[in-house]
Amino acid sequence: MSSMYPYAERYPVNRTMPERGRDRAEILAELDEIAGEEDSVWELGHCSGTMYCGDHEHYAFMARAFERFAHMNALQRDMCPSNTRFEGEIIAMTLDMLNASAVVDTEPAGMVTSGGTGSILHAVLAYREQGRERGIDRPNIIKPETAHPAFDKAGFLLGVEVRRASIDPDTTQGNMDEIASLVDENTVALVGSATNYGYGTIDRIGELGELALEHGIGLHVDGCLGGFILPWGEALGYDLPRWDFRVPGVTTISADTHKYGYGFKGTSVLAFADRSLRNGQYFYVTDWTGGKYCSPGMDGSRSGGLLAATWAAMVSLGREGYTEYARRIFETSFAMQEVVRNHDGLRVIGEPSFCFSFTSDEFDIYHVNDFLRTRGWRLNGQQYPDAIHMAVTRPQTQPGVVDRFATDLTEAVEYAAAGPEQPPASGAIYGGVAGGWSEEADEFIRAVMADMMDRHQGVPR
């Protein structure tokens, strides 16, 4: 879409609560029109990530499961014990997929959260609380700089210092010597990714596990992106390093059901190697006038619809379904990577699998991205170095998508190599702060975020 606020001229703008309600049929017709237009952005398979499933029949099936439990509150299990079944089985199936049977001496457990950031936030909370039991009041965690910013958000919200280690520019994996040097008596956990968002590569989880065991600290593996596809890739015979609970030292794993688990947005699983580590999530107040209050995580009320829809998605696909979709995605990703490698001016970064990143040492890669956008492609921009990536999902596995990518990329490379006079538009934010965030850049980001939150359908306040 050309604008963040395309509807202000077409539909009524609600600046105040309307006096009378609108006709329901009229409302649904409006929503149908908007949804159809927005779906057209990704349906051709030109969008990186975002729409991991893209199957409208599957969406409709989940919607039917959702609507039956949407009005139920997962916090009140006495009224909706079905939610206990859904959540318990979601966790059990995920633990099975992550090879929790390899854990010895402790009992694995899990929790369903509101998404990847929620899982990461709860993991950091668990390690903070475990550190407090050891007398650590100024805890820190250590992550490769490629690990998701959700760890930095968690540190900000929970008062946990986040230490960043550099990466090997060739492998994009964390520098193990630097990670080891950052560990001190206040370190409560290490972080590794499987895969990281930017490059689609897997950190040295085995080495991180050895380091964690050496110091008696935790190791969280961020499988938010790869957690629900890497296991099936391994089953298909792809050469992937181990990263799950089979690796000694791994204590928690996050895996997003709302990505390659093909559930609706708003669910993720945080898996624990030891049930006792999960105890740090529980919050309770026993002396409130409203009665004894307790919740198993940061959220209070939750819609049972999301649990029902996620459960329905998982049991409707099973190992066979997930493996077949993974086969198509891996094959498509490697085919698209080969298209990139066929251009001398382009370079694939690291050794990726289903998600890959590429750059150029000869011309501005953002010019490539600019041109691809004119052909309807929506790839994600990166920095340090400037690059673009494609997280391959089911929409890309449609017939003809790889061929279109090959044709459009050839023209995009020709455009970029010719050296356009104008600076690239898609690299404006990253390119403007290539040397690091400045105060001006921070203020710009704040202004953009505030505008997104405060605008009323594009109409200034």
Higher pLDDT, 268 or 7: 268
- Omega before 195 within 30 of 0, i.e. cis: yes
Whether residue 456 has pLDDT greater than 60: no
Sequence-separated (6 or more) residues with CB below 8 Å from residue 135: none
Distances (CA, A) of 408 to 46, 50, 304, 339: 11, 21, 44, 11
The mean of the pLDDT values for the chain is 92
Helix (H, G, I), strand (E, B) or coil at 149: coil
Sequence-separated (6 or more) residues with CB below 8 Å from residue 52: 258, 259, 260, 262, 393, 394
**pLDDT at position 8:** 86
**pLDDT at position 300:** 86
Q: Which of 284-298, 366-380, 436-450 has the lowest mean pLDDT?
A: 436-450
Share of the chain above pLDDT 70, in %: 92
Tokens of 119: 């899982």
Distances (CA, A) of 155 to 37, 110, 211, 257, 329: 38, 21, 21, 24, 34
Query: Per residue in 223-262, pLDDT tens?
Result: 999 999 999 999 999 999 999 999 999 999 999 999 999 9
CB 401 within 8 A of CB 332: yes
> Which burial class, exposed, middle or buried, applies to 102 when counting CB atoms under 10 A from its CB (0-12, 13-18, 19+)?
middle
> In the chain, what are the domain boundaries?
82-312
E strands, 114-160, are: 140-144
The topology (CATH level 3) of 82-312 is: Aspartate Aminotransferase; domain 2 (3.40.640)
Query: Per residue in 179-214, pLDDT tens?
Result: 999 999 999 999 999 999 999 999 999 999 999 999
Query: Per residue in 314-326, pLDDT tens?
Result: 999 999 999 999 9
pTM over 0.95: no
Phi, psi for residue 389 in degrees, rounded to 5? -135, 160
